[in-house]
Copies of this chain bind each other. A is one copy, B any other.
């Protein structure tokens, strides 16, 4: 019953501002992040770092920090999240309780500027800046990019990362192909979407179909800024790919700008590298609906490492 209520409420185009922060969170975002009101800090939200909100190493996932930032911005303003950059300050282990507090630093006729902080106890976990906006139905609109040509999801094979990738980083063999027991892949599904007209000018460019899965399959096809932020956190893989390195990255931030949001079952993560130098790199992601609408565009910076370096350091 609760579930049906959630789904019905999620049809509301905008969250509603209230004194209880949780009332302003979209129902599917509550389900995604298990958000609660923080009884110790009225107006703040809290969540627990549970397995679905972790990286495969058991620490809080950057995409979850971005999703929580976006949800908190919407709750405190009653407007749709427009963009957010979430700086990842510290790792948080599984089981931590994260307090999320949003502050409106400027409020205008159509747009609010917001900052969000995530804490574990007295320690700052993440710091976000961003805006939430009330869109104008006849406001300026347009599209500057085109979705790459890829096969439809039904014709694409499952993508075995990040579970397989993480296992490779740990030098483990997966038993039975189920992947690690901890990680956001518990609630997401990805398929490898081969780009049909690749360009040698973009050596990092690759694409994945993504959708919510596992216990969160029920939220489909609702798409929210928080869900987009949650699934889009794959950029460093494009950057190491462009560098010709079998590796990964430690994200320094997760940034997203929300475009023409509409419901979709699968979304295409169109990932690309910008540039890397001295062990640090930057890349982008466009998130498309199957009909070619650009739902969001994101970017990230990361400290990059090869799997060889990772294993060498681990093994001393």
Interface residues of A (CB under 8 A from B): 82-83, 85, 87-90, 105-106, 110-111, 113, 115, 124, 127-131, 133, 135-137, 139-146, 201-205, 238-240, 242-245, 247, 252-253, 255, 257, 259-261, 272-284, 286, 294, 297, 299, 301, 303-306
Known: A140-B243, A140-B245, A144-B275. A85 touches B203 (CB 8 A): no
Asked if B275 and A131 make an inter-chain contact with CB atoms under 8 angstroms apart, the answer reads no
Nearest-neighbour CB distance to chain B for A115, whole angstroms, equals 6
Known: A279-B140, A306-B140. A89 touches B110 (CB 8 A): no
Which of B113, B135, B136, B278 is the one whose CB lies under 8 Å from A87? B113
Q: List 29 A-B contacts (CB under 8 A).
A: A89-B106, A110-B279, A115-B127, A128-B129, A131-B253, A133-B280, A135-B280, A136-B278, A140-B240, A140-B243, A141-B278, A142-B203, A142-B244, A142-B281, A143-B242, A143-B273, A143-B275, A144-B203, A144-B238, A144-B275, A145-B272, A145-B274, A145-B275, A146-B202, A257-B301, A259-B277, A259-B282, A274-B294, A275-B294
- In the complex, what residues of B have CB within 8 A of residue A297's CB? 274-275, 282, 284, 299
Nearest-neighbour CB distance to chain B for A210, whole angstroms, equals 18
Known: A105-B89, A144-B205. A282 touches B257 (CB 8 A): yes
Asked if A274 and B286 make an inter-chain contact with CB atoms under 8 angstroms apart, the answer reads yes
CB-based nearest B residue for A282:
B257
Asked if B83 and A301 make an inter-chain contact with CB atoms under 8 angstroms apart, the answer reads yes
Q: Determine which residue in A140, A240, A303 has the highest number of CB atoms from chain B within 10 A of its CB, and name it.
A: A140
- In the complex, what residues of B have CB within 8 A of residue A130's CB? 87, 253
Besides A82-B280, A259-B282, 17 more A-B contacts (Cβ < 8 Å) are A89-B106, A111-B303, A113-B252, A133-B303, A135-B279, A135-B280, A139-B280, A140-B281, A141-B277, A143-B203, A144-B203, A144-B205, A144-B238, A144-B273, A144-B274, A145-B273, A255-B299
- In the complex, what residues of B have CB within 8 A of residue A145's CB? 201-202, 272-275
CB-based nearest B residue for A131:
B252
Asked if B252 and A144 make an inter-chain contact with CB atoms under 8 angstroms apart, the answer reads no
Asked if B242 and A142 make an inter-chain contact with CB atoms under 8 angstroms apart, the answer reads yes
- In the complex, what residues of B have CB within 8 A of residue A141's CB? 243, 276-279
